[in-house]
Amino acid sequence: MALEVTDANFEELVNAGKPMVLDFWAEWCGPCRMVSPIIDELATEYEGKVTIGKMDVDNNNDVVAQFGIRNIPTVLFFKDGKLVDKQVGAAQKSAFVAKIDALL
């Protein structure tokens, strides 16, 4: 299961030393519901290697604004605390796996 990431814990998690994958989503977003099970699967598969989390855009304005998130789902990929890649819109699991493997 993916971690719940918030404005309050984002900095701590992104700078924790592991690569991080962050899914920006909302309850009312249909494509987000398609991506959500993939993100949860990846969280299990990469446990201990990559921090994988979800951030509700309706409840976390600071980080959403910081990265200019305008479309959801948007998945950001961080390495060493820095944004290195992103996926905007729904995608196949293989696309996420390729981007995660590039972080490792």
Active-site residue flag, 32: yes
d(CA 88, CA 104): 21
pLDDT, average across residues 34-41 = 97
What is the per-residue pLDDT across 76-100, written as a single tens digit (0 to 9) for each? 999 999 999 999 999 999 999 999 9
CATH value at residue 55: 3.40.30.10
Check 5, 32, 39, 64 and give the catalytic one: 32
Residue 29 belongs to what domain range?
1-101
pLDDT at 104: 94
For the chain, percent of residues with pLDDT exceeding 70: 100
Helix residue spans in 18-92 (DSSP H): 30-45, 61-66
What pLDDT score was predicted for residue 36?
96
76 Cβ contact list (under 8 Å, min separation 6): 21, 22, 24, 67, 83, 85, 86
Of these residues, 2, 14, 20, 29, which one is catalytic?
29
Q: Helices (H) and strands (E) in the chain — how many of each? A: 4, 5
User: How confident is the model at residue 81, as a pLDDT?
Assistant: 96
Q: Does 29 participate in catalysis according to the annotation?
A: yes
Indicate the number of domains in the chain: 1
Beta sheet of 20-25, edge-to-edge order = 3-4, 51-56, 20-25, 74-79, 82-88
